[in-house]
């Protein structure tokens, strides 16, 4: 099977995931290329794995194609139990600011700027066991949002010992370094039986 559907209604996440998968030889497309838009089940606060599997299995039931779903988040020790699995839901409560602005405001004055981005991918295809992988990348929250090569948290996220944010790196450098890229690499290995 070479053509997977991405189980997401988030256009930015879908585009990034398609790029990451393609980097490792997996062809995918938005599910809306073959189906009308659907409403996915509500996410839980249980785990990235539960959320990704739920989305993938839901879409797989209404199509005969292989489906890949992502659940991702950012974990910032200075913010305690906030974010993580509930990242988007928490950040979207602040309707006056973008997600990145909300994080920068919360981090104002914080000396500890450590952060981890997490991406769990669930791949479901007919008559095969589901595959679940998780990619993580650790680094620091930058003082300002920078970069135009990608969107979202990449504009805030600096790898340790590096001055650039991920969004300041072109795709050929950025993709293997991101949480989603690392998860895509693991998925490609499992699909190839490595």
- What distances in angstroms separate CA 182 from CA 85, 98, 107, 137, one per listed residue? 18, 26, 26, 8
d(CA 50, CA 15): 22
Q: Which residues pair with 27 in a beta bridge?
A: 3
Examine the pLDDT at 1 and tell me if it is beyond 50: no
Cβ(28)–Cβ(22) below 8 Å: yes
- pLDDT in the model for residue 77: 96
d(CA 168, CA 25): 24
- pLDDT in the model for residue 16: 95
**Burial degree of 109 (CB within 10 A; 0-12, 13-18, 19+):** exposed
Cβ neighbours, 10 Å, residue 156: 28
Catalytic residue (choose from 71, 94, 99, 171): 71
- pLDDT in the model for residue 156: 97
- pLDDT in the model for residue 2: 53
Quick one: the chain helix, strand, coil %, rounded to 5? 40, 25, 40
Q: Could you give the number of structural domains in the chain?
A: 1
Examine the pLDDT at 194 and tell me if it is beyond 70: no
71 classed as catalytic: yes
d(CA 139, CA 165): 10
Query: Range of 145's domain?
Result: 3-191
- pLDDT in the model for residue 180: 97
Cβ(148)–Cβ(193) below 8 Å: no
CATH number at residue 43: 3.90.950.10
β pairing state of 66-75 and 131-141: unpaired
d(CA 154, CA 147): 8
Q: For the residues 50-59, what does the mean pLDDT come to?
A: 96
How confident is the model over 93-115, as pLDDT tens digits? 988 999 999 999 999 999 999 99
d(CA 181, CA 136): 9
How confident is the model over 142-163, as pLDDT tens digits? 999 999 999 999 999 999 888 9
């Amino acid at each position: 099977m070479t053509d997977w559907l991405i189980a997401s209604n988030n256009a930015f996440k879908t585009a990034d995931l398609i790029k990451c998968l393609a980097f490792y030889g997996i062809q995918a497309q938005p599910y809306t290329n073959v189906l009308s838009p659907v409403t996915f089940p509500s996410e839980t606060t249980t785990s990235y794995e539960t959320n990704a599997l739920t989305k993938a299995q839901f879409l797989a039931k209404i199509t005969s194609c292989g489906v890949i779903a992502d659940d991702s988040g950012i974990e910032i020790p200075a913010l305690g139990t906030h974010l993580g699995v509930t990242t988007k839901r928490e950040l979207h409560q602040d309707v006056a600011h973008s997600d990145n602005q909300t994080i920068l405001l919360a981090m104002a004055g914080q000396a500890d700027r450590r952060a981890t981005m997490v991406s769990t991918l669930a791949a479901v295809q007919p008559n095969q066991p589901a595959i679940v992988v998780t990619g993580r990348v650790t680094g620091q929250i930058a003082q300002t949002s920078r970069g135009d090569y990608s969107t979202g948290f990449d504009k805030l996220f600096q790898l340790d010992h590096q001055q650039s944010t991920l969004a300041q790196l072109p795709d050929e450098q950025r993709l293997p370094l991101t949480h989603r890229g690392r998860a895509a690499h693991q998925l490609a290995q499992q699909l190839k039986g490595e």
